[in-house]
Amino acid sequence: MSRLNLASRVEGSHRQEKGYALRMLTALILAQAIATDAFLDRTRPRWEQVSRQLWDFAETSLQEKRSSALLADLLEKEGFKVQRGVGELPTAFIATAGSGSPVVGILAEYDALPELSQKAGEASQNPLEKGAPGHGCGHNLLGTAAVAAGVAANQARLERKLPGTIQIFGSPAEEILSGKTFMIRAGAFKSTDVILAWHPSDQNYLEKGKRLALTVSDVEFFGKTAHAAASPWLGRSALDALEVFEHAMALMREHVLPTARIHRVIKNGGTVANIIPDYSKVQVWIRDLDIATVDETLARMRKAAEGAALATETRAKVTVLGSVRNPINNDVVGQTLQKELERVGVPKWDESDTAFAKALQKDLKMPEKGLASEIIPYGPAHGSTASSDIGEVSAAVPLAELNVATRALGTAAHHWATTSCSAHPLGNKGMLVAAKVLGASTVDLLGDPAAVAAARAEFVKATQGKPYLSPLPAGAKPVVF
C-alpha cells in the first residue's frame, strides 16, 4: 500500500467517524425534539381548553387579570418559579425553570382587542356581545402555545438533564404596544440569552424585515368657546384647527417615503354644533421602515400642528404615547425555528377546516383559497407590516419570530374573522404546530451553547454593541390609548 493510499484511508476513516458523530448528534436532537412533540400531542386537549378559556375571557390591554393568572398558575403547577407583576404591570409575569446558561426565553401574549367580539367558528360577522372585546389578533392561541412549549421543553430538560434555564415571559398590553417596553425597563430580560416569539397568521414563515417602526401620538387643540350663532366672532374653534391639521397631513402624504403609513382617528371634535368647540383631539399613528425615519415624519407632524394652531389662533399640544422600533430578526434563532417548522410541517387541515376558511373568504369577498399548505422558505422581506413591541425586545435580546397559519389565507389580524378562527379547530391546529416548533427549538438551543453564542455575536454586530435605550420618557406609566 502506498503512503498516499494509507493517508487517504486514514483521512477517510476520520471522515466516517465525523459523519457518525454528526448522525448521532442529529438523532439525539431529533429524539429531544420528538419528545416535546409527543408530550404536546398527549396533552393537546388541555391546551385547547386553556386557549378557549383565554378566548372567553377576552381581556383587553392592562385588564388581563384572569388570563395572566390562568397561565401563571399553570406554569407554577408545572414546577416553574413565577414572579407576578413586573415593573408597572400587575398582569405581567416571568416564569423560570432550571438554572445557569444558556437562558432561553419564550414570549407569551394574551390581550384581546376592543369591539372584536364574534361568535366562535361563525363565517359571517355575528358578535357574541355587540361592542365587546374579542381575540381578533389570536393572542389566546399565542399565549397558550408559548406556555405549552415552555412546559414541554421543561419536561425534556428534566428527562435529559439538559443544562440551562427556560423563561416564559407573560407580556401583557401588546395591543397598546407597550407591555414589553415597560418589562425591559424593569430589567425583565437582563439575564436572557435568546428569545423565541411567535404570532398567529394566515401563513407559515419566519418574520424577516417587514414589521414597521411606529409612534403613536395624541394631537390636541385648545381654542375658545362661544355661541355659534349669537357671537361666533368671539370663538376660536379647536375643530377648525383640527381640520387645518388634517388637511396639512393629507397633503404631506404625497411627500413621504412610499414605505410610510400615516393613519388616524378623530377622538374628539366637539359635542354640539351650536357651541364652538374649545377642544379637539386626533390620534395619529406614524409607521415606517425604521424609527429614525418615523421620528423625522413626527417632527414634520409637529410643524403641521403648530401651523394649524397659528392659522386658527388656537394652541396645539402633541403627546407621544407609544413608540416601538422595527424588529431586528436574529438569523441564528430564526434558522433554528425554521428548521423545526420544516420538521414539524404545516397544520394538518381537514375538509371542515378548509370549508370553514372558504366560507369566511366568500363572506369577505376574497379569493376562496382555503388555508396555507406550505412553508415559506427562510429569507428577507417576509411577513407583515404591522408593528409590535417585540421590536423593543429585539433591540435588547437576540430574537426571532415564527408565524403559523391559524386563520384563512388572506384574512387579516384585528378583524372579527380572526376572532372566529381563534376559537375554531383550525386555530387550535396552528397553535399546536407553533407549540411544537417553539418547544423543540428551546430544547435545541439549551443543548447547543455554541448556537446561543453565535446568536449573541450576531446581535452585538447588529446593534453595533450599543446598549438598549428606552423610548419611554422618565416617569412614564402604561396607558390605554
Residues that bind Zn ion (CB under 5 A): 137
For Zn ion, the closer CB: 38 or 412: 412
DSSP 193: S
Quick check: helix, strand or coil at residue 303?
helix
Distance CA 106, CA 173 (A): 16
Helix 139-159, helix 425-446: angle, nearest 10: 40
Give the β-pairing of 103-108 and 89-99: unpaired
For Zn ion, the closer CB: 236 or 407: 407
Kindly state the smallest distance separating residue 387's Cβ from Zn ion, in Å.
10
Distance CA 211, CA 391 (A): 8
For Zn ion, the closer CB: 323 or 403: 403
Kindly state the smallest distance separating residue 125's Cβ from Zn ion, in Å.
20
For Zn ion, the closer CB: 215 or 387: 387
Q: Which residue is nearest to Zn ion (CB)?
A: 137
CB 67 within 8 A of CB 54: yes
For Zn ion, the closer CB: 140 or 361: 140
Kindly state the smallest distance separating residue 147's Cβ from Zn ion, in Å.
16
CB 426 within 8 A of CB 411: no
Q: What are the phi and psi torsion angles at 269 (to 5°)?
A: -130, 25
Rg of the chain over Cα atoms, rounded to whole angstroms, equals 25
Kindly state the smallest distance separating residue 107's Cβ from Zn ion, in Å.
11
For Zn ion, the closer CB: 134 or 447: 134
Quick check: helix, strand or coil at residue 426?
helix
Distance CA 24, CA 10 (A): 21
Strand partners, 282: 219, 266
Kindly state the smallest distance separating residue 404's Cβ from Zn ion, in Å.
13
Kindly state the smallest distance separating residue 123's Cβ from Zn ion, in Å.
22
Handedness of CA 31, 34, 36, 39 (dihedral sign): negative
For Zn ion, the closer CB: 116 or 452: 116
Kindly state the smallest distance separating residue 342's Cβ from Zn ion, in Å.
24
Beta carbons within 8 Å of 114's beta carbon, 6+ residues apart = 60, 133
For Zn ion, the closer CB: 177 or 452: 177
Kindly state the smallest distance separating residue 413's Cβ from Zn ion, in Å.
6
Beta strands in 80-125 (DSSP E): 81-86, 89-99, 103-108
